[in-house]
Structure 1
Amino acid sequence: MSGPINYKFWTICIIEKEGKILLLDRQHGNFKGFLPPGGKVDFPESFVDSAKREVKEETGLTVRNLTYKGLYEYVNEVKKDRFIIFHYYTKDFEGKILEYPPEGKVDWYPIESLEELPMQESFRRRIPYLLKEGTFEIQVEWDEENNREGRIQVSNT
């Protein structure tokens, strides 16, 4: 394949407390639904620093002792795009949730009720891997012609 490949990096951080995880009810842009805090990695910051910054900006909480859980990537061979999302997990945080968060209302949701929440299928697919031991890698080939996910390959330890 000739020509440059477009790499873009994001992070997501799962914060757990007493059988609940912190989610944003995001109702704008392309990623509507319930999602964990996260966002684009700013060059030249590290992925962990990006995850910590995004949590602080979107929730007001300060997180520590992040555990790397895995990555989720979209590969679009037609556009030569490779979007990679690094996932982290923690129970170690402090602070108060923002009263008016920029990305949407932030609240704690019981893990057993996550199936009932409206969220993107791509995030729903990751939840089991984020909440169990080990790491994962999920690669999704984007079907440009039909503007949807194509082949999905999952690897986990």
Structure 2
Amino acid sequence: MENVELTNMVMIMDKINNKVLVQNRIKGNWTGIAFPGGHVEKGESIVDSAIREVNEETGLVVNNLEICGVKDWYRAEDNKRYMVFLFKTDSYQGDLIEHGEEGHVFWHDIDKLNLLNLAHGFDRMVKIMLEDRLNEYFITENQQKSHWEHMLK
């Protein structure tokens, strides 16, 4: 059995304006632009955790989450596997809270994400979320060996 930490991330889309909701993450050791998300609490479902985290970080309530992949990696230094369940949706309601303790949240053109200061590896996560033929981004403990796995659904 592995020691596993479960997390989630949600791409919230405004398809009419071709924008996505991003967060300039300032808390923790993974900083930069990413989508809202966070940890799965003990006894909590993966989907419920994603809905809760988005609400806590943005004020929005998301619906109709579509799982679109997973990022996972193993770190030998702490003998732990980390898994991020990747979701997307264009169904949300509520009033956006732009300034939270996790970081500033704002809408940005999806085609211009690469112009922002992205969190490490976030560009690959976006690729998984947008390309139907991809479903996992797996990283070994040595970043030089990172590669795509299970590219076909």
TM-score normalised by the chain length of structure 2:
0.90
Structure 1 contact 52–62 (Cα < 8 Å) conserved: yes
Distance across 2 between alignment mates of 1:99 and 1:122: 24
Q: 1-side partners of 2:131 and 2:137: how far apart?
A: 15
State the 1:118 CA deviation.
0.3
Q: Which residue of structure 1 lines up, in the alignment, with residue 57 of structure 2?
A: 58
Give the share of equivalent positions with the same residue, in percent: 31
**Which residues of 2 match residues 5-154 of structure 1 at below 5 A?**
5-17=2-14, 18-143=17-142, 149-154=143-148
Is contact 1:21-1:108 (8 Å) kept?
yes
Consecutive unaligned residues in structure 2, runs of 5 or more:
none
Residue 142 of structure 1, CA deviation: 1.5
CA-to-aligned-CA distance 1:4-25 (integer Å, 9 cap, x gap): 6321000000000031110111
SS in 2 for 1:128: helix
How far did 1:66 drift? 0.3
Question: Structure 1 runs of 4+ off > 6 angstroms?
Answer: none
3-state secondary structure, aligned to 2:42: coil
Q: Secondary structure at the match of 1:70?
A: strand
**SS of aligned partner of 1:156:** coil
The DSSP-based 3-state class of the residue aligned with 2:132 is coil
Is the CA contact 1:68–1:135 (under 8 Å) kept in the aligned structure 2? no
1:156 aligns with 2:140: no
**Distance in 2 of aligned mates of 1:39 and 1:142:** 22
Could you say if the C-alpha distance between residues 120 and 100 of structure 1 is closer, same or farther in structure 2, counting changes exceeding 3 Å? closer
Unmatched runs of 5 consecutive residues or more in structure 1: 144-148
Report the alpha carbon displacement of residue 150 of structure 1 after superposing the two structures with TM.
3.7
- 1:153 maps to a residue whose letter is H
Letter in 2 for 1:121: H
The answer (yes or no) to whether the contact 2:31–2:119 under 8 Å persists in 1 is yes
CA drift at 1:73: 0.6
Letter of the 2:151 counterpart: N
Q: CA RMSD in A?
A: 1.5
Write the distance in 2 (CA, Å) between the matches of 1:26 and 1:78. Answer: 24
